[in-house]
RNA sequence: GGGCGGUUAGCUCAGUGGGAGAGCGCUUCCUUGACACGGAAGAGGUCAUAAGUUCAAUCCUUAUACCGCCCACCA
């Protein structure tokens, strides 16, 4: 109900307004196929919090949402769906397939937007974009063409990562390295013409032997010096001879110190091959099957790579060429998306040249134009950019931005923004229009890399682009710092001349209670939608924010967190009910009772509110969401409810309470609103307020809250006295309503006396002993209690104080300390000692009086 | 192999160069006129280990152990 009202009234929407400071956040576009998970809680909640906060501050704040076409993920969904109908991609044909993907995206995609609404996220939906829409697609083509013409995009035959399951290349950033148990096979390659001699190599991938073109050893490895230059026969077929070469890259200490060189199927071997001018025959096709298309593979033709491995190992064993098999644990490359084992293949693909793009992105971070929180994220960012390699951007799938590339009959690429332009170029440069478009599409991250300016209308010169670029902050998970963040910075600098955002905030990863990753297969995944249903969206948001710390890289989450937050909200609700149930009406929220009429408790809660506003504001400005949440939790529950609300039940405090409650609670709701939008709106609307919605209410200003430090300190003294007295009451075993007589040694004034009596369920009896301040009097309030209880209590106190006094005396007697420590520290320690001594004397006197009383009575 | 982070109460985590903190859990009491999704009181810790710097170290430095994350072409 509230959300609908907000959206219908356009509260999330903003127009660029140069009169106000901009505050823009570009939402990391969730996958069109995606569903909300806990990671969205830790990443998107902070974005919503900041946007709401800055809107209340009066800034031109807008949160720009969108969806990502998620090329590989979406294509996989469609393929799976089609498989149920017995259809393959090719049965449909490209055009029909893409049409189906569009239809699917429109019909079933974007479910996550509904979920975001339930969670209270309020981006400017009117500005929602999709990475495949016309404007963004045009931006993609323009960027590709420009980079090509600048020589920053090229086509080349390079080692790429092949995902055989997804039937596409993937970039280095999308490859995971996973430790797995494997086997290290030692294989003997017999010397050509002398089969009694040979060289043994260790390999984990015998199936690639068919593509071996050499054996390499280290140049200084004396074991093999005599063999270098000779040739060996390639097992298991023993039909082809390959040379033994030397290369620095070979580690003589690993395995046998000799390595087989398969340039078409291993990145290191590829480099060795380049250095030695070796041939690079491919023996595996895009289905990860052995192929003899380039070189003879004998009976292994057409076998799947893993079957081929088994068959080749068997053959080696039969022929006595398998010297040794040993278990071996090592890291293998896995496709992030499909989980399939990555096959390094030599293939003709499109690449973005990264070096000249990376340098300015690195510089921007180093000179502080780009800040990264936490600092450790900055290190990661630097390290990656320093070692960056070219980015393979062509993908062999159909769903996505098709490469704006055509080929002339001689296979020369023609790169153009439109087909018309491509025809023109073809006619002009090749004298023909018989050109064929490249079937490949672009890496999803190519279009998301343009997000910060493409969603603002680039390449058009829009008012949004003029006023809102660059944005202020990007919030995202640290796992896509390479895939996304670094690329946005590089492309932003290149095309806009400026970093796309001032701050990057990396949110922690969410793990389960025992630190495991949340996953469906482990069954430990928690669905935020279920939590929202059970405990409320506000509770979910608060629970996750409360655990966030600036420097933390992970948080452990469990459902009980949400339950606690729900309890907190229940507390807010009940506190509100209390106020609404008071006999007097709540006056307007923006004016306080006359200053001189404020009670001690009033002054205390106002001073506390003042500090809370300052702290929360500071925390949100520095992205310390956990700090903000924790501060508010403490204020609402342990200060406002536990102490102030209780104090207002005292009749003497009644005259001013409605005004102060109204004022303080209104402020508290505004402070809490960015974190808990729903309950704060509901409460705010049910109490006196100014305006239509808390969303556009102004952010609390500490300068508008009167502060009386002296009164606040006195109230704190009362709190401390109260705690001591309650402790004694518990020891005596008094029932809550049983009153206790309190001896207060000076006339502390009727307000303090009444407050103390109320909070302790006591009857105050003031005597007027001289020489005490009110604070001292409070410190020595003596409840009437059985002699033995008091005596034990006093003895405990004396013992504790004696320890403290002795500790400090020792410290101050240390000449080194007095001479070398900072003077203010010494002074502080001295005054502490004095305080303890006075307290010690006081308790000792009290004990003496107690025992003498007892004596006279007995 | 390289980089980063962590180790503080049973659990999850704050924090500070000079008197160890919170929430949950636990124990005792309380259906007190907002709230049992609550209130009051309480128990519980040689701040991972070792050395160093310092008048003083849980905090700074170094090393070690264990845990986690990221990066990486030793077959």
Asked if A177 CB < 7 A from strand B, the reply is yes
CA–C1' gap, A343 and B4, in angstroms: 30
Nearest nt by C1' to A260 Cα? B75
Residues contacting residue A620 through CB under 8 Å, at least 6 positions apart: A49, A50, A53, A628, A674
pLDDT of residue A771: 64
CA–C1' gap, A807 and B49, in angstroms: 28
**What is the spatial distance between Cα A619 and Cα A627, in angstroms, rounded to a whole number?**
6
Return the number of other C-beta atoms located less than 10 Å from residue A277's C-beta.
6
CA–C1' gap, A487 and B62, in angstroms: 38
Q: Which residues of chain A have pLDDT under 50?
A: 856-858
Asked if A552 CB < 7 A from strand B, the reply is yes
CA–C1' gap, A839 and B56, in angstroms: 26
Selection from A483, A481, A453 nearest residue A391 by Cα: A483
User: Strand order in A405-407's β-sheet?
Assistant: A413-415, A405-407, A436-437
Name A residues 243-282 whose Cβ lies under 7 Å from strand B.
249-255, 257, 259-260, 266-268, 271
CA–C1' gap, A730 and B28, in angstroms: 9
Using one digit for the tens of pLDDT, what is the confidence trace for A134-150?
999 999 999 999 999 99
pLDDT of residue A712: 92
Name A residues 468-507 whose Cβ lies under 7 Å from strand B.
478-479, 482
Helix (H), strand (E) at residue A854: helix A823-857
Asked if A555 CB < 7 A from strand B, the reply is yes
pLDDT of residue A260: 95
**What is the spatial distance between Cα A694 and Cα A715, in angstroms, rounded to a whole number?**
31
pLDDT of residue A472: 97
pLDDT of residue A524: 80
Using one digit for the tens of pLDDT, what is the confidence trace for A715-767?
999 998 899 899 888 888 888 888 888 888 777 788 888 999 999 988 888 87
pLDDT of residue A858: 38
Residues contacting residue A540 through CB under 8 Å, at least 6 positions apart: A41, A119, A528, A531, A532, A562, A565
pLDDT of residue A857: 44
Nucleotides of B under 7 A from a protein CB: 2-6, 11-15, 18-19, 23-24, 28-30, 32, 34-35, 37-42, 54-56, 67-75
pLDDT of residue A582: 94
Return the biggest CA–CA distance within chain A: 125
Name A residues 784-813 whose Cβ lies under 7 Å from strand B.
804, 811
CA–C1' gap, A792 and B14, in angstroms: 34
pLDDT of residue A841: 87
Using one digit for the tens of pLDDT, what is the confidence trace for A64-85?
999 999 988 899 889 999 999 9
The pTM assigned to this predicted structure is 0.93
Three-state DSSP class for residue A199: strand
Contact A146, A341 (CB under 8 A): no
**What is the spatial distance between Cα A67 and Cα A455, in angstroms, rounded to a whole number?**
11
Chain centroid, CA A345 distance in Å: 34
Contact A473, A25 (CB under 8 A): yes
ipTM over 0.85: yes
Alpha-carbon separation of residue A554 from A509, A519, A547, A548 (angstroms): 5, 15, 10, 8
């Amino acid at each position: 109900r509230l959300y609908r009202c907000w959206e219908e009234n356009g509260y999330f929407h903003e127009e660029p307004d140069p009169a106000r400071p901009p505050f823009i956040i570009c939402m990391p576009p969730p996958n069109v196929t995606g569903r909300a998970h806990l990671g969205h809680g830790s990443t998107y909640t902070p974005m919503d919090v900041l946007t709401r906060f800055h809107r209340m501050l009066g800034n031109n704040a807008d949160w720009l949402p969108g969806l990502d076409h998620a090329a590989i993920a979406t294509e996989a969904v469609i393929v799976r769906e089609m498989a149920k109908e017995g259809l393959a991609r090719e049965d449909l044909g490209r055009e029909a397939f893409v049409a189906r993907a569009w239809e699917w995206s429109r019909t079933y995609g974007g479910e996550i937007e509904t979920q975001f609404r339930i969670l209270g996220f309020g981006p400017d939906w009117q500005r929602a974009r999709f990475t495949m829409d016309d404007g963004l697609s045009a931006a993609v083509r323009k960027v590709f063409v420009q980079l090509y013409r600048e020589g920053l995009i090229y086509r080349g035959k390079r080692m790429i990562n092949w995902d055989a399951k997804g039937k596409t290349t993937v970039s280095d950033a999308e490859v995971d390295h996973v430790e797995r148990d494997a086997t290290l096979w030692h294989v003997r390659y017999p010397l050509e013409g002398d089969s009694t001699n040979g060289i043994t190599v260790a390999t984990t991938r015998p199936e690639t032997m068919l593509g071996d073109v050499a054996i390499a050893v280290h140049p200084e490895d004396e074991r093999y010096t005599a063999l270098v230059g000779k040739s060996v026969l390639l097992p298991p077929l023993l039909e082809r001879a390959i040379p033994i070469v030397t290369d620095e890259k070979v580690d003589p200490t690993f395995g046998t110190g000799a390595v087989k060189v398969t340039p078409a199927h291993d990145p290191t071997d590829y480099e060795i091959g380049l250095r030695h001018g070796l041939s690079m025959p491919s023996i595996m096709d895009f289905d990860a099957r052995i192929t003899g298309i380039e070189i003879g593979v004998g009976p292994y033709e057409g076998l799947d790579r893993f079957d081929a491995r088994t068959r080749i190992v068997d053959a080696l064993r039969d022929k006595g060429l398998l010297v040794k098999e040993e278990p071996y644990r090592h890291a293998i490359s896995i496709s992030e998306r499909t989980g399939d084992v990555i096959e390094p293949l030599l293939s003709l693909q499109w690449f973005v040249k990264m070096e000249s793009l990376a340098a300015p992105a690195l510089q921007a971070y180093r000179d502080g134009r780009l800040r990264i929180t936490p600092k450790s994220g900055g290190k990661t960012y630097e390290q990656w950019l320093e070692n960056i390699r070219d980015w393979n951007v062509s993908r062999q799938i159909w769903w996505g931005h098709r490469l704006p590339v055509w080929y002339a009959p001689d296979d020369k690429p023609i790169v153009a923004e439109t087909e018309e332009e491509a025809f023109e170029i073809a006619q002009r440069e090749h004298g023909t229009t018989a050109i064929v478009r490249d079937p490949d599409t672009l890496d999803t991250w190519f279009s998301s890399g343009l997000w910060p300016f493409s969603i603002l209308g680039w390449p058009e010169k829009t008012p949004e682009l003029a006023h809102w670029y660059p944005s202020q902050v990007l919030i995202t998970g640290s796992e896509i710092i390479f895939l996304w963040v670094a690329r946005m910075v590089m492309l932003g600098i290149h095309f806009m001349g400026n970093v796309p955002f001032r701050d990057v905030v990396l949110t922690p990863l969410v793990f389960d209670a025992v630190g495991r990753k949340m996953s469906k297969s482990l069954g430990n995944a928690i669905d935020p939608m279920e939590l929202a249903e059970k405990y409320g969206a506000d509770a979910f948001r608060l629970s996750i924010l409360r655990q966030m710390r600036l420097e933390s890289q992970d948080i452990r989450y469990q459902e009980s967190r949400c339950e606690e937050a729900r309890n907190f909200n229940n507390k807010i609700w009940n506190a509100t009910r209390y106020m609404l149930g008071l006999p007097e009406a709540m006056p307007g929220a923006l004016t306080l009772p006359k200053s001189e009429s404020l009670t001690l408790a009033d002054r205390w809660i106002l001073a506390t509110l003042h500090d809370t506003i300052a702290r929360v504001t500071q925390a949100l400005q520095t992205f310390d969401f956990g700090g903000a949440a924790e501060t508010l939790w403490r204020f609402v529950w342990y200060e406002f409810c536990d102490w102030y609300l209780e104090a207002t039940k005292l009749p003497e405090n009644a005259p001013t309470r409605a005004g102060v409650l109204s004022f303080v609670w209104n402020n508290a709701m505004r402070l809490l609103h960015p974190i808990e939008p729903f309950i704060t709106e509901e409460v705010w609307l049910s109490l006196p307020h100014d305006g239509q919605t808390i969303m556009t209410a102004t952010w609390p200003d500490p300068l508008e809250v009167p502060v009386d430090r002296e009164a606040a300190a006195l109230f704190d003294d009362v709190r401390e006295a109260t705690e001591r007295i309650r402790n004694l009451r518990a020891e005596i075993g008094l029932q809550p309503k049983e009153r206790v007589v309190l001896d207060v040694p000076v006339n502390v004034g009727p307000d303090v006396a009444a407050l103390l009596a109320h909070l302790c369920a006591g009857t105050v009896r003031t005597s007027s002993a001289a020489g005490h301040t009110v604070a001292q009097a409070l410190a020595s309030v003596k409840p009437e209690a059985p002699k033995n209880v008091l005596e034990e209590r006093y003895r405990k106190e004396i013992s504790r104080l004696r320890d403290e006094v002795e500790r400090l005396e020792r410290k101050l007697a240390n000449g080194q300390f007095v001479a070398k420590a900072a003077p203010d520290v010494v002074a502080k320690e001295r005054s502490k000692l004095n305080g303890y001594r006075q307290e010690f004397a006081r308790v000792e006197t009290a004990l003496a009086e107690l025992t003498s009383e007892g004596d006279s009575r007995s």
